[in-house]
Structure 1
Amino acid sequence: MTTLTAGWPLVLACPLLFSAYSQAANGFIEDSHLVIGSRSTVLNSQMKGDGHQRFAHDRRDPRDVSLGMRANFASGFTQGPLGFGLDAYGFAGFKLDGGDGHAGYGNIQMNHEGEAQRSFGRAGVLIKARHGQTELRYGQMQVTNPVFATSDTRLFPSTATGWLLANRDIEGLLVETGRFTAGTEPSSTSNKGELWANYAFVPTDSVGFAGGRYESRDWSVSLYGAQFEDLWRQAYLGGSYLWEREDRSRIALDLNLYHTRDEGRANAGDIRTTAYSAQLAYSLGRHRLMVAYQRIIGGTPFDYIGFGNNGSGAFGNSIYLSNPIMASDFNGPNEKSWQLRYDLDMAPSGFPGLSFMGRYVFGYDIQRSDNSHYGAWDGADDAQHQELDLEARYVVQSGSAKDLRIRLREGLHDARRGQPDGDVNMHMLILEWPLNCF
């Protein structure tokens, strides 16, 4: 699962305003940014069946109230041909409500006895160097690419520890490579957690990757390769194209393809999986209609990297397919899935900032896994499942509450014939409001 699968969160956040690859060269202090924000969540979710038993926390319906404070600092670079700088962050989380049997789910830290902690926090730092358009970073960081991506869907983001080298010498082209050896889940106080397979619950000592993406006005293409030590090797190819039509309508095409094979000692067993998705969207005025198809080929689900405490939850986001949504990734062995989505922008009707979204995904032909590391699918026999998400969003356009973002979401997931995600009913309220940033 790539998004928060619980109900009624209340979020206050100050968004990051600095780029991951700063291009300014005024100096270490002159180009520094300090971003301070808070995020509060109130969760109330109902689960039935054994879907949530896939995760090690093994709790009842997730329900908790939590408050998180964030401070993110990004320096500029020292002047000269080779510039140096550093980034740092500090997080502090507080449990406002939530019993031990329901709390957690990535928002509140749990001790070894399964008790919810009243407060927790962590800090991290990275050092960076830049020469021209080439930048090297080492330390704790958030990473975003198709084969290795942290996520920010809980009270705090997950982070990874390692190095990342990126180059932007050619306009529109990003080339990057990195190697990471540790990860941190959102509710952890340690920066020395594991990297592990989200669905096989098997750790890896390191993940290395290389690749890049090129973007123009109308199209983009990405190519990446990764090695998860003694787990698997993975290749990714993706692309998009946008047609601007004379009637001011738009047609957008997105394609994604993964190819995964076991590697080294194959600690997650025999893996031979191909996953792909294609989506086509048509936009005209205030309306947008999208249809997507996703296919998993192989006797194991499409798996991807997790961060921190092994089995604690899906705290990675390196699944650039069309149909992973709130409650499910629709990534079971040999699974096929379709999505239909509709977006409505109310600005042309005189309500700027107001929009609506509805989407439905149906997955079918799911088979039991032929790999013992993916036992959650042992009961699958032509399994099926479906999910319906409804959402309303509003961004305040002016006044003292300008840029306040309000989001209401209802999600319903229904599992059949041994599909392991179970029946889930989630309700979500999110408020995002910038705080002082300087």
Structure 2
Amino acid sequence: MKLSSKALLALAISSITATAYAETQSQDFVPTTLAGTSAQSEAKGFIEDFSLGGTTRNWYSHESKYRGGTFSYQKHGQTLTDRNRTNWVQGTILNASSGFTQGTVGVKTEVAVYNALVLDRSKRDIKGGSNRTLADSNGDAVDQWSKLGLANVQFRVSNTTLTAGRQNFSSGIVDTIGNRALPSSFQGVSFNSEEFSNLSFQGGVFDRVSPRSEQSLSKFRSEYGNGAETDKVSTLGVNYQPLKSLKTSFFAANVKDFWNQYYFGATHELGDAQQLGLTTGFNYYKTVDEGKKEMGEIDNDTFSLSLGLTHQAHSLTFGYQQVNGNEYFDYLHETNGIYLANSLTSDFNGPNEKSFQIAYAINMAEYGVPGLKFNAYSARGWGIDGTHYTGNNGRAKFAYDGIQSQDGEKHQEYGVGASYALQSGPLKATTVRATYVEHRGSEFQSDGSIKEFRLVTTIPFNIL
């Protein structure tokens, strides 16, 4: 990987800033030792630690395409088009979780029922369904539906846990995504080991994904491909904190007959946020084709570098991102496996794309209103070039065919948001978030031109 001049400049700025302020954030080395306590030795019991609770989320979105863009839907056998799409869904999770049994090997079970109630059922509004509203084959909304979102058994020895069944999992490549009324989850076997003070290991093998807005399990497919499926995703990784101020992680994944993907991430903190705090983040992905090459030939290096400055209530963040490859930087659909600084409404992940973002946020707790936050950002991508793409491997249906028309494409995105979290009372931790985003793309840029307003209210609850 070759860093661009802008990335090198950002690193230089980071170094200069670091020398200008006192290092109140400790830079001490953290030695690797055995964990001081065993989580299993503190197990309370299967029934004694049982809990029943969950969340309910009201999820509303209104989108409008412009500059000629439209949504389409079927009505009486005809295809109709419209600039607007509205989705309004109430998603509720009821989670029952036991405690771990006592003894050398602890056993625990977790079951969560996911339920979706569609509040806007107009075929014209939902535009035949999407990953926002579940619709039947005729494009009519499924008014209400439920499924087992989680159903697993866990075994624990000391600080190492093995989980089998439908579950959540979080890493830089395979990660549960929760930006709809309901989240996704995965079916398979995973482990998490925290036997050392600053070193942990994670891994898993998954054969199905439970999508955010579908009742059934699905095979895995890519976010930007044209439909190829795989039924095996294997991943293994390590999280390591060498300094009190530095956290790193490295993960590798094999997506059968798609690709091998490798991820490295690092976050470093410096200074004092009451005076001036500096957070530097670096994320890097390497993706190469594998097996039957169902996604075609892939050789992709993508990275992002972010620099965040914090002073009391205010934070200012700069993010630079670059794709080195003649295909999209791609990741698994129904996952959040894209830990890149400029992954926004658009992922800014076109072939050979470069992008830059500037973001501002303010935490009103510093001004006597805890829980209230505002943010705004602007991002721009340029240099999208797919003209050199030849990686369809004779399988145009399953590759990124069509990006050859992207020659010098560019786009920009703006967004503002506000959120409030209740600090006390029976609805404590309830959050309300409103966002408005506008994206504008050039003629062949894949995301098009669209505006979206989103209002999401999430209420947690405990029964037992």
The TM-score range, normalised by the shorter chain, is 0.7 to 0.9
1:317 aligns with 2:336: yes
Give the structure 2 partner of residue 310 of structure 1: none
CA RMSD of aligned residues (A): 2.4
Find the residue that maps to 2:400 and give its secondary structure. Answer: helix
Find the residue that maps to 1:347 and give its secondary structure. Answer: helix
Contact 1:382 1:417 in 2 (8 A): no
Residue number among 312, 329, 336 corresponding to 2:354 in the alignment? 336
Give the structure 2 partner of residue 25 of structure 1: 43
Alpha-carbon distance, 1:417 to partner: 3.5
Task: Give a deviation string over 1:46-94, Cα, whole Å, max 9, x none.
Answer: 12469898xxxx9854312222221112221111111112111111212
Find the residue that maps to 1:374 and give its secondary structure. Answer: coil
Give the structure 2 partner of residue 429 of structure 1: 455
Give the structure 2 partner of residue 99 of structure 1: 122
Distance 1:390 1:153, change over 3 A: same
Alpha-carbon distance, 1:346 to partner: 2.1
Distance 1:133 1:404, change over 3 A: closer
User: Aligned equivalents of 1:52 and 1:177: distance in 2?
Assistant: 42
User: Aligned equivalents of 1:74 and 1:286: distance in 2?
Assistant: 37
Query: How many residue pairs align between the two structures?
Result: 406
Residue correspondence of structure 1 range 355-434 to structure 2 within 5 A: 355-368=373-386, 370=389, 371-372=391-392, 373-399=399-425, 401-434=427-460
Find the residue that maps to 1:154 and give its secondary structure. Answer: coil
Residue correspondence of structure 1 range 120-139 to structure 2 within 5 A: 120-123=145-148, 124-139=150-165
Give the structure 1 partner of residue 24 of structure 2: none
Find the residue that maps to 2:99 and give its secondary structure. Answer: coil
Bigger mean CA deviation after superposition, 128-137 or 112-121: 112-121
Greater share of residues in helix: 2
Percent same amino acid among aligned pairs?
28
Contact 1:379 1:417 in 2 (8 A): no
User: Aligned equivalents of 2:377 and 2:43: distance in 1?
Assistant: 44
Residue number among 62, 81, 89 corresponding to 1:66 in the alignment? 89
Give the structure 2 partner of residue 80 of structure 1: 103
Distance 1:437 1:214, change over 3 A: farther
Residue number among 347, 358, 368 corresponding to 1:350 in the alignment? 368
Letter in 2 for 1:241: H
Distance 1:335 1:52, change over 3 A: farther
Distance 1:132 1:246, change over 3 A: closer
Contact 1:381 1:417 in 2 (8 A): no
Letter in 1 for 2:223: N
Distance 1:225 1:52, change over 3 A: farther
Find the residue that maps to 2:195 and give its secondary structure. Answer: coil
Bigger mean CA deviation after superposition, 393-402 or 218-227: 393-402
Task: Give a deviation string over 1:270-298, Cα, whole Å, max 9, x none.
Answer: 10000000000111111111101000001
Q: Unmatched 5+ residue regions in structure 1?
A: 1-20, 307-314
Contact 1:333 1:368 in 2 (8 A): yes
User: Aligned equivalents of 1:260 and 1:351: distance in 2?
Assistant: 45
Task: Give a deviation string over 1:349-369, Cα, whole Å, max 9, x none.
Answer: 233322211111100000126
Contact 1:63 1:98 in 2 (8 A): no
Distance 1:66 1:247, change over 3 A: closer
Give the structure 2 partner of residue 197 of structure 1: 222
User: Aligned equivalents of 1:110 and 1:355: distance in 2?
Assistant: 35
1:229 aligns with 2:248: no
Give the structure 2 partner of residue 312 of structure 1: none
1:213 aligns with 2:239: yes
Give the structure 2 partner of residue 156 of structure 1: 182
User: Aligned equivalents of 1:399 and 1:205: distance in 2?
Assistant: 46
1:115 aligns with 2:140: yes
Contact 1:395 1:406 in 2 (8 A): yes
Give the structure 1 partner of residue 197 of structure 2: 171
User: Aligned equivalents of 2:125 and 2:219: distance in 1?
Assistant: 24
Find the residue that maps to 1:435 and give its secondary structure. Answer: strand
Distance 1:292 1:396, change over 3 A: same
Contact 2:273 2:311 in 1 (8 A): no
Distance 1:59 1:356, change over 3 A: same
Q: Which runs of 4 or more aligned residues in structure 1 lie more than 6 Å from their structure 2 counterparts after TM superposition?
A: 49-53
User: Aligned equivalents of 1:280 and 1:382: distance in 2?
Assistant: 27
Residue correspondence of structure 1 range 292-307 to structure 2 within 5 A: 292-306=319-333
Find the residue that maps to 2:401 and give its secondary structure. Answer: helix
Contact 2:57 2:459 in 1 (8 A): no
Letter in 1 for 2:232: S
Bigger mean CA deviation after superposition, 232-241 or 396-405: 396-405
Distance 1:33 1:404, change over 3 A: same
Task: Give a deviation string over 1:77-129, Cα, whole Å, max 9, x none.
Answer: 11111111211111121222232244233232222232211111101411111
Distance 1:52 1:265, change over 3 A: farther
Bigger mean CA deviation after superposition, 97-106 or 182-191: 97-106
1:258 aligns with 2:267: no
Distance 1:292 1:59, change over 3 A: farther
TM-score (norm 1): 0.87
Distance 1:425 1:247, change over 3 A: closer
Bigger mean CA deviation after superposition, 179-188 or 367-376: 367-376
User: Aligned equivalents of 1:68 and 1:404: distance in 2?
Assistant: 14
Letter in 2 for 1:114: G
Contact 2:56 2:458 in 1 (8 A): no
Find the residue that maps to 1:296 and give its secondary structure. Answer: strand
Find the residue that maps to 2:136 and give its secondary structure. Answer: coil
Give the structure 1 partner of residue 19 of structure 2: none
Find the residue that maps to 2:362 and give its secondary structure. Answer: strand
Distance 1:202 1:241, change over 3 A: same
User: Aligned equivalents of 2:376 and 2:212: distance in 1?
Assistant: 28
Distance 1:209 1:403, change over 3 A: closer
Larger radius of gyration: 2
Q: Unmatched 5+ residue regions in structure 2?
A: 1-37, 72-79, 393-398
Taking CA–CA contacts closer than 8 Å with sequence separation of 6 or more, which of the two structures ends up with the larger relative contact order?
A: 1
Distance 1:140 1:127, change over 3 A: same
Letter in 2 for 1:82: V
